[in-house]
Amino acid sequence: MTAMYQRIFLLALVVFLLPPAALAQSSPAYVRQALPESTLVGQGLYRWFGLSIYKARLWGDKTKVTAAGWSGSPFALELEYTRTLYGEKIAIASIDEIKKLGIGTNAQHDQWLADMKKIFPNVEEGQQLTGFFSPGQPSRFFLNGGSIGEIADPEFGPAFFGIWLHPKTSAPKLRQLLLGTK
């Protein structure tokens, strides 16, 4: 057996003998700091009319995924943008999606939109916006691992993250990929 084949055999043996948890993709450091037990639940690419917009990754406890979706435990949703977008447009598109889900009142929509406009920056290709959800807590947001702000209303989190995780999302295939059900 040549040296190259021996290395391939040893690598395959190590991978075969490792427990599945050891093979799980590790979350970024700032996600691990907030959610120490988090692993990659699922990921997918969001396209709009064929254009790639962002890669999405859901970090959390995969055992909290149910047939109906997420069980309400803390998680992080990371969006890595594949093109430049304006923060104000991200906020407006987010409110439009929340309205489509039928979540919140007009007054809440107005407040949430104002709050998102304050903290959502313009993003360029390769930059990451990450939102953290924890039931009953403010939703926190990070750009490339650095904190950019939070939205205190505890009803905002389920509405905002519902854009991706609600059963009536406008991106059902991405939802399945994020939840690891596809």
Domains contained in the chain, CATH given: 25-179 (3.50.70.10)
pLDDT value for 138: 97
User: What pLDDT, on a 0 to 100 scale, did the predictor assign at position 15?
Assistant: 33
Q: What pTM value is reported for the model?
A: 0.83
What pLDDT shows up at residue 71?
Answer: 74
pLDDT at 72: 76
Q: In the chain, how long is the greatest CA-to-CA distance?
A: 71
Contact between 41 and 58 under an 8 Å Cβ cutoff? The reply is yes
Mean pLDDT by 10 residues, the chain (182 residues): 37 35 65 91 94 96 75 91 97 98 98 98 97 95 97 96 95 95 78
**Which pLDDT belongs to residue 14?**
33
Predicted local distance difference test score (pLDDT) of residue 65:
75
Cα–Cα distance list, 48 to 52, 83, 143, 171 (Å)? 7, 12, 22, 10
E-assigned strand segments in the chain: 39-48, 51-60, 65-66, 69-70, 75-81, 128-133, 139-143, 146-151
pLDDT in tens, 38-83: 999 999 999 989 999 999 999 998 888 766 677 778 999 999 999 9
Give the pLDDT confidence score for residue 67 in this predicted structure. 61
